[in-house]
Amino acid sequence: MMGKESVVDSDKEKSHDRLTIMQELIASALEKWGYTSQVYELLKQPLRTLTVRIPIKMDSGETKTFTGFRVQHSDAIGPGIGGVRFHPEVTEKDVQAQAIWTSLQAGVIDIPYGGASGAIVCNPKELSFRELEALSRGYVRAIISFIGPTKDVIAPDAITNTQIMAWMLDEFSQLKTNHSPGFISGKPLILGGSLGREAAVGKGIVIAAKATAKRIKLPLEKARAIIHGFGNVGTYVAQTLNDAGVKIVGISDGHGALYDPDGLDVDYLMDRRDSFGMVTNIFKKSISKDELLAEDCEMIVDSSRDPNELTAHDAETVKAGIYIETGRGKISEEASARLHHHGTCVIPGLLTNAANTALSYLERVQNNQDYAWMEEEVNQALEGLLEEALTSIVDVSNKRNVNMHEAARMAGIQKLANASRLRGWV
């Protein structure tokens, strides 16, 4: 599964851009640690933002010029690492916010990298295969002096897949006249990619769910889960948790929701999903998403593409002891605080999304070693990184008496702030 997280801003984010939101969040995290405003002044903005113009000869014979970005938030700990997305509405501020978010992920999972991010403003659905290749190669040519295995490692993100990574790798290797698999992650296996990359976010969710259940001494065989959003991520999580003994009692999709306290037949539901990924529409009696989230269960996984975040009002109805977020901003700050107050352990999207960044890092380690790991080794390493990250977030939450979202951001920014201080920058 490639990185497919939506970059289309929610209404709230449109009125209050993603960069400003991110800056407010890191300001609060740094303040809670007691860092000076000079540290915030350094970290509030990426160190470097490169905007490029990429002329492409289209199939029609005309030349069309595209805009691209590559942003490096901080190299205080190590080179940048981060995705490149192809999207018609992506802005420079979106990419800057994403680079900071990736820095926080790298900090949470404790890898020696800083956050970076890139994008090309384009609609891939309107491009032919040849045009897509030309654009991928043109992007690398335009940013070549800015990137590299020890400077900034590119990774897949929205709409960018292994083929695009392969074209980019080839362009970079030809221009540098050397074989440089470590310059990019998410490559095809034969070009130095890693096993175990598929369903990275789903795996991250399952690892977090199991580790949290263990932490609160909840045997998986006694756990009942609701999967809010039965898509790519949701179906993987439902099946994997079900195989581990968890009873899946509820699911939802864009049409409605189903709940059965005795457990749903996950295989049957998977089998009956239509080409739009919808299944609840074939049942006469379906309930609303709000009703589903208020049903009895031990665990809720929010894997929907629901544009509405979980509000403080919704949070009051949640009975689950574990609430897992799969992306940024799915739970409002107030809802997170309410869930925390009521004793629900919230697993922030910063941790579950970090699985993609972790996989890019593990691929890079294999490229450095010139040795391909078995899938089991990759999965074990991913598990180790995410479990450690969860422990550090829970520790910050307990010691500093903050909710899990605040704790994740505090854990994510701390090493970057310390490294910047040790280098004598602030």
- 289 is a contact residue toward ligand NAD (CB under 6 A): yes
- 164 is a contact residue toward ligand NAD (CB under 6 A): no
Q: Which of 117, 242, 286, 303: binder of ligand NAD (CB under 6 A)?
A: 303
- 327 is a contact residue toward ligand NAD (CB under 6 A): yes
- 323 is a contact residue toward ligand NAD (CB under 6 A): no
Minimum separation from the CB atom of position 305 to ligand NAD (A): 4
The span from the CA of 105 to the CA of 195, in Å, is 21
Give every CB contact of residue 122 below 8 A, 6+ residues apart in sequence: 66, 86, 87, 88, 135
Name the one range near ligand NAD by CB under 6 A: 61-69, 121-129, 246-254, 400-408.
Answer: 246-254
- 8 is a contact residue toward ligand NAD (CB under 6 A): no
Name the one range near ligand NAD by CB under 6 A: 2-10, 108-116, 130-138, 169-177.
Answer: 2-10
Query: How far, rounded to the nearest angstrom, does the alpha carbon of residue 385 sit from its chain's CA centroid?
Result: 15
Name the one range near ligand NAD by CB under 6 A: 59-67, 119-127, 215-223, 304-312.
Answer: 304-312
- 13 is a contact residue toward ligand NAD (CB under 6 A): no
Cβ distance to ligand NAD smaller for residue 17 or 306: 306
Residue nearest to ligand NAD (CB): 231
- CB-based contact 327:307 (threshold 8 Å): no
How many residues sit close enough to ligand NAD to count as binding (CB under 6 A)?
25
CA of 253: how far to CAs of 127, 233, 237, in Å?
30, 12, 14
360 in a labelled binding site: yes
The span from the CA of 251 to the CA of 238, in Å, is 9
Residue 127: both structure tokens together = 């491009």
User: Between 352 and 371, how does the x/- string for binding to ligand NAD read (CB under 6 A)?
Assistant: -x------------------
Q: Which of 73, 203, 224, 305: binder of ligand NAD (CB under 6 A)?
A: 305
- CB-based contact 331:325 (threshold 8 Å): yes
Name the one range near ligand NAD by CB under 6 A: 27-35, 114-122, 148-156, 249-257.
Answer: 249-257
Q: Which of 40, 101, 230, 323: binder of ligand NAD (CB under 6 A)?
A: 230
Torsion of CA 3, 349, 422, 154, to 10 degrees: 0
Q: Which of residues 57-96 bind ligand NAD (CB under 6 A)?
A: none
Q: Which of residues 176-215 bind ligand NAD (CB under 6 A)?
A: 201
Minimum separation from the CB atom of position 276 to ligand NAD (A): 7
Residue 297: both structure tokens together = 């269960």
- 105 is a contact residue toward ligand NAD (CB under 6 A): no
- 254 is a contact residue toward ligand NAD (CB under 6 A): yes
Cβ distance to ligand NAD smaller for residue 289 or 338: 289
The span from the CA of 348 to the CA of 404, in Å, is 7
Minimum separation from the CB atom of position 225 to ligand NAD (A): 15
Q: Which of 68, 124, 196, 234: binder of ligand NAD (CB under 6 A)?
A: 234
Minimum separation from the CB atom of position 351 to ligand NAD (A): 12
Cβ distance to ligand NAD smaller for residue 43 or 385: 385
The span from the CA of 349 to the CA of 99, in Å, is 15
- 232 is a contact residue toward ligand NAD (CB under 6 A): yes
- 4 is a contact residue toward ligand NAD (CB under 6 A): yes
74 in a labelled binding site: no
The span from the CA of 227 to the CA of 273, in Å, is 15
- CB-based contact 114:420 (threshold 8 Å): no
Cβ distance to ligand NAD smaller for residue 78 or 231: 231
Which among 185, 18, 26 is positioned nearest to 104, based on CA atoms? 26
Q: Which residues are annotated binding-site positions for NAD(+)?
A: 232
Residues that bind ligand NAD (CB under 6 A): 1, 3-6, 201, 229-234, 252-254, 277-278, 289, 303-306, 326-327, 353
Q: Which residues are annotated binding-site positions?
A: 232, 360
Q: Which residues are annotated binding-site positions for substrate?
A: 360
